[in-house]
Amino acid sequence: MTEEKPTGPFDVPWGQLTSEQIEAIEGFSRAMSEAMASAHSALGASAMKSYAKGPDAIDPDPFKIAPDMTKVMAGLANDPGRAAEAQMRLWQGYMELWGSAAQHFAQGGDAKDAVAPQKGDKRWRSEEWSENPVFDIIKQSYLLTSNWLVETLQNVDGVDESAKRQVAFFTKQLADAFAPTNFALTNPDVLKQLVETRGANVARGLRNLAADIERGGGRLSISQTDLDKFEVGRDVAATPGSVIYQNDLIQLIQYTPTTETQHETPILFFPPWINKFYILDLRPDNSMVKWLLDRGHSVFLVSWVNPDASHKDKTFEDYMDEGVYAALEATLEQSGAEKVNTVGYCIGGALLASTLAYMKRQGDERIASATFFAAQMDFELAGDLLMFTSDDWLAEIERRMDANGGVLDGQTMADVFNMLRANDLIWSFVINNYLLGNDPRPFDLLFWNADQTRLPKTIHLYYLRQFYRNNALANGQLTIKGEKLDLGEVELPVYMQASREDHIAPFASVYRGAKLFGGPLRFVLAGSGHIAGVINPPIAEKYQHWLRDDDALPETTEDWLSGAEEHPGSWWEDWDAWLGQHSGEDVDARDPENGPLKPIEPAPGSYVKVRS
């Protein structure tokens, strides 16, 4: 008598299913049907939104890479010797891979890999990628091919460096998208989840996908964190203070003191207007604002407006006048001080540096010192963001802003910055949210990252062209109100911070800008990247920083590092000691309730709460 083979979905004959199993199957079927209906509805709405804009709505080349790709492929075709060499290199790589695979099958985990992931590549954390021979081959085959493709296109002769850089960047984006980790049937973690949840993760993932498409208004907006867990002014940006001045571009916040006395010279922050200011004031334990208050500093901070179409014609000079100058004058009036210490973060640093050079020409000495976080003044080595300054891409940005009433929408900016770290900020969430069916975890930093601002047309195009494209400030060609600016004339004390792994303001780029100033400058290199390298309170005891005792700025970053000493933890305390030299005597603490400029509303103000 032959044994009846299981035919039910849980390895049980259909006739022997229990009531609990039948209920589980029915529940899963309902969940799948609901999720598929939601996904179809959201995807349909997305398609209708695109087609409603006309036949040109779906752009086959949204990043305008085709002209550069044509140059690179023509260069490769014109050099058959290099093409043959590249093919041979790939063939040899696969020979090593198959040899390694044969050893792995025969000897277990003792075989030497033909290719290994780069340090810090988190996609391959699962033990299955190394211990399971099948997944190990999939991993190495992908790495071998993707590395070969990017390197081959990057090393074509007879093509300008800009074109090769563009092609290599977007080729890597494509290679990252096709990584086996991003597909259910080639990701061991997803397969394991399918078995353990009996496919329920698929239903949850489809619901998450539908929700993200709906939240994006028909455009996929990947959730990086649980946005409902945070509220600006309650969970983040919650340090007490008052808005004591505002105009069309800024609200100026004065924070409530936490000490009985404060340093005479206040600190005035100019954060980037590309993001919201509260990266400097997340939670109490990692808020730079609160940390400075607790050390007796009087802190003022600019909160930029989240611009709309009414701001499309605002110029760089407007941001200087209504931003830097207006905030400076209000801070001096409110504090009664004669000078302020200033801080510029990222693009806010470029604006501050330009203003300092202009003020020098005007004989204006109301700024005592300047600190810069991850700020570039020389854009020769500005990194991957240079990809988005070609003529074709600038024309595309202008077209998008015109179609949107004169502003670049926040989602486009988020997409660009996420692309710079696609595996961490895009594909890891695709896997977690859609393939594994998990909900994103609450994380204050990722909430801030998702709270993007719009950008007005005139100043944004000016910044991309004059700073990134023309490198006008570094080259001495930037003219403001008839004055040609020269950072070499800026002789006030400067504290310059860079981060070793910064992908937005690379170490080498920030260092070149530091060498442009004409006065005393202290340079610090922090561990980690554009955000974590800056927002690293001493209490966290994370990362490290490098300093030179002589404050010298030799020719290259390698020369600087050779004479620098590594210190554990945060650089904030070194900065605080430096600020102490430029902050004057102690005075009675300044309460925003008692100043000549009366509070308009409590911090963090209303400008920062406007969502894009």
Q: Which are the catalytic amino acids?
A: 346
Using CA atoms, how far apart are residues 497 and 372, in angstroms rounded to an integer? 6
Closest CA to 604 of 139, 215, 234: 234
For 265-330, the DSSP string reads S-EEEE--SSS-GGGGSSSTTT-HHHHHHHTT--EEEEEE----GGGTT--HHHIIIIIIIHHHHH
Distances (CA, A) of 581 to 340, 445, 460, 498: 13, 32, 36, 21
From the list 593, 597, 589, the residue with the least C-alpha distance to 241 is 593
Q: Is 108 exposed, middle or buried (0-12, 13-18, 19+ CB in 10 A)?
A: exposed
Written as six digits, the tokens of 569 are: 């933890």
Tokens of residue 390, six digits:
């070609």
> Which residue type occupies 464?
L
CA distance 141 to 452: 37
Exposure string of 521-534, with b = 16+ CB inside 10 Å and e = fewer, is bbbbbbbbbbbbbb
Residue bearing tokens 């963090």: 604
Measured CA to CA, the distance from residue 326 to residue 319 in angstroms comes to 9
Measured between alpha carbons, how far is 419 from 530 in angstroms, rounded to an integer?
A: 15
Q: DSSP secondary-structure letter at 573?
A: H
| Residue appearing with tokens 């409590």 | 602
**CA atoms of 14 and 6, how far apart (whole Å):** 8
Asked whether 611 and 451 are in contact (CB, 8 A), the reply is: yes
CA quadruple 307, 341, 232, 285: dihedral sign: positive
- In sequence order, the 6+-apart residues with CB closer than 8 A to the CB of 195 are none
* C-alpha span between 452 and 412 (Å, rounded): 9
In angstroms, rounded to a whole number, what is the distance separating the alpha carbons of residues 161 and 145?
A: 23
How many other CB atoms are there within 10 angstroms of residue 79's CB atom? 15
Q: Which of 364, 337, 343 is nearest to 590 (CA)?
A: 337
Q: CA angle at residue 469 from 465 to 473, to 5 degrees?
A: 80
Query: Cα Rg for the chain, rounded, in angstroms?
Result: 28
Please give the backbone phi and psi of residue 436, each rounded to the nearest 5 degrees, phi first. Answer: -85, -20
Helix (H) or strand (E) holding 492: none
